[in-house]
Amino acid sequence: MNDTDTQQWSVKQSTDLYGIEEWGGGYFGINNDGNVEVRAPGEDGKVAVPLTEIIDGLKQRGLDMPVLLRIENLVDSRISILNESFAEAIKVTGYKGQYRGAFPIKVNQQSHIVEEIARFGERYNHGLEAGSKAELMIAMSVLQNRESLIICNGYKDAEFIDLGLQARKLGFKCIFVLETIAEVRLVIKRSRELNVDPMIGVRLKLSTKVEGHWAEDSGDRSLFGLTTNQLVEVMDELREAKLLHCLQLLHFHLGSQIPNIRSIRAGVLEACRYYIEMVAEGAPLSYIDLGGGLAIDYDGTSSVSGHSRNYSVQEYCVDVVEAIAQQLDAHQLPHPTIVTESGRATVAHTSVLLFNVLDVGHFEPGPLPESLPDQPHEQLSNLWHTLKMIDGDRLQENYNDVIYYRDQVRDCFFRGEINLRDRALAENLCLAGLQRIVSLVPQMKRIPPELEALPEQLADIYYGNFSVFQSLPDSWAINQVFPVMPIHRLDEEPTRKATIADLTCDCDGKLDSFAGPDGETKTLSLHAINEGEEYHLGVFLVGAYQETLGDLHNLFGDTNVASVRINTDGSLDFVHELHGDSIADVLSYVEYDPQSMFRQFRMAAEQAVRDGRISVSERQSMLAAYSESLRGYTYFER
């Protein structure tokens, strides 16, 4: 694992190694100077800004690493792509209905994101999906276009329903999607008391199964939705209440991040059969809502892995439109308005987590002695001679011997038969032996499993200034693979293999699964750290779910946040700047009173002065440092 000559390395090789052109969606690339750049949408890559330039601007504005960077241009672009792709599919297929998007607020509730979606989406009548009273209140406050839909999912109490009915009185197209029998009765009751006809939808529990992380939430065991029997009961209750005319929308949701387009088409076809039968029952349906599921390519493989998808946005739109038209045309039914609640595909690209590397842990031997000490222990001698015998023809045997004699030395140390320095020498010899074996493994025709995993076991650990639990919770919770790569020095060969550890005192606080050119890998290729230079990494496609799901493990709080917009002349606007949580902030989140803590610390310092342990000037310095720390960033500050 020694560093090699880096002069022959090219930007093209880095592009292929990290797959940035595959997962980047045209928004990210590497320039000729070896820096990752953000490309302004619609400019054919001609207008681009290096992330290093953005980091310099952040530092000048007092925003230290880690920083969550949002690129507003990409929010606009993703909404345009979705709406215009559906418009093109409707045009080429001769579909007679319309398309309406509804962004699920739960995917990213941050005000700058939701407000930008509402503002830019207004031209497309792009709406919002709300799964709680708080989210419904957001939708009612930010949407200006009354043609935009508000889709109300989730379980609803009377207050939730009253809010939605008030939205109807204000002219919003606010649709209650019923999840249970109890909800239909509550909607009927509250609409009568407020004297307003509701817009009603029903969520179906389809039998179609999908692949991916959320496969268990599809099919008969889906957590949400009405069974066929419950659907009939809902329609009967609405008919009896003389509100069947309010039933306008059929909704289903197969799961998030659906990798296979065939599963999506199968779900649409099944839902259309319900749609046809519900119309036959007298329900005047005019919307069919596919929910979410439109996937993005996290790993660049364009496959049916849980981290990718085997279709484009354009293919998705055409397949959905064709499937609905095919089914309904056979029954001479009008084409409904197609609704999707695409969240991940709308905002994932828009955010990048940027952080610096604080330190590196190596698993390499130190200098080896020319010979063993006089009268060495037998097991230490055995390990020494094993190291000398390593060759490419007996690597499995060599590996077995190195591990065996290392363990023998450890047992001897435990029994007090060898001293600390001999134990340290043995560990160093073992590392030297394993590194020698790793260097010869590529020469083998068939690599045994133990030796195949050896490079991962000897990989470096790069310690990053961030928290997995706060900024990348899906990486820990569901093993989501995000694209990770250096954002500079990409005209140099990355000669180190590494995993990434965060600042938390937790064995799960790490990134050890990465997208590689040959599939998922346990290590990431990185550059050796240059003395006195910052080394920055970026984690991409983190705009969906990560911010709100983050927690306060070890009381690392929200990172600094910046929103930027790239202008057509290549200049950069820093639109929003938000400093991350201070230590006082996160302490208050877990019910500590920072002012009370300071008073108690001051009393302890004053007692130390009375006891003669510190001077008054030392007391003042301690109080100032404690107060400054309360105001400081929860992450590492140089």
Q: Which residues are catalytic?
A: 505
Report d(CA 508, CA 506) in Å as an integer.
5
Report d(CA 254, CA 212) in Å as an integer.
11
Tell me the DSSP string of 556-596.
--PPEEEEEEE-TTS-EEEEEEE---BHHHHHHHTT--HHH
Instruction: Answer for the pair 208, 253: CB distance below 8 angstroms, yes or no.
Output: no
3-state secondary structure of 621: helix
CA distances from 516 to 175, 360, 462, 484 (A): 43, 22, 18, 10
Q: What are phi and psi of 340, to 5 degrees?
A: -130, 150
Q: Which residues contact 524 (CB under 8 A, 6 or more apart)?
A: 484, 485, 497, 498, 499, 500, 511, 514
Report d(CA 311, CA 265) in Å as an integer.
12
Instruction: Answer for the pair 361, 460: CB distance below 8 angstroms, yes or no.
Output: yes
Residue 334, phi-psi category: left (phi > 0), alpha (psi -120 to 50), beta (remainder): beta
Provide the β-strand partners of residue 219. Answer: none
Report d(CA 223, CA 229) in Å as an integer.
16
Nearest to 99 by CA among 247, 317, 251, 292: 317
Task: Name the pairing type of β-strands 351-361 and 536-539.
Answer: antiparallel
**Residue 415 in tokens:** 């029994």
- At CA 474, angle to CA 358 and CA 220, rounded to 5? 170
Report d(CA 543, CA 603) in Å as an integer.
45
Tell me the DSSP string of 163-221.
HHHHHHHTT-EEEEEE-SHHHHHHHHHHHHHHT-PPEEEEEB-------STTGGGSGGG
Report d(CA 251, CA 267) in Å as an integer.
11
Report d(CA 397, CA 400) in Å as an integer.
5
- Other C-beta atoms lying within 10 Å of the C-beta of residue 611: 8
Instruction: Answer for the pair 426, 382: CB distance below 8 angstroms, yes or no.
Output: no
Nearest to 156 by CA among 167, 148, 164: 164
Tell me the DSSP string of 90-125.
HHHHT--S-EEEEEEGGG---HHHHHHHHHHHGGGT
Helices and strands (H and E) in the chain: how many:
23, 23
Instruction: Answer for the pair 427, 465: CB distance below 8 angstroms, yes or no.
Output: no
Report d(CA 539, CA 561) in Å as an integer.
14
What radius of gyration do the chain's Cα atoms show? 30
Instruction: Answer for the pair 581, 88: CB distance below 8 angstroms, yes or no.
Output: no
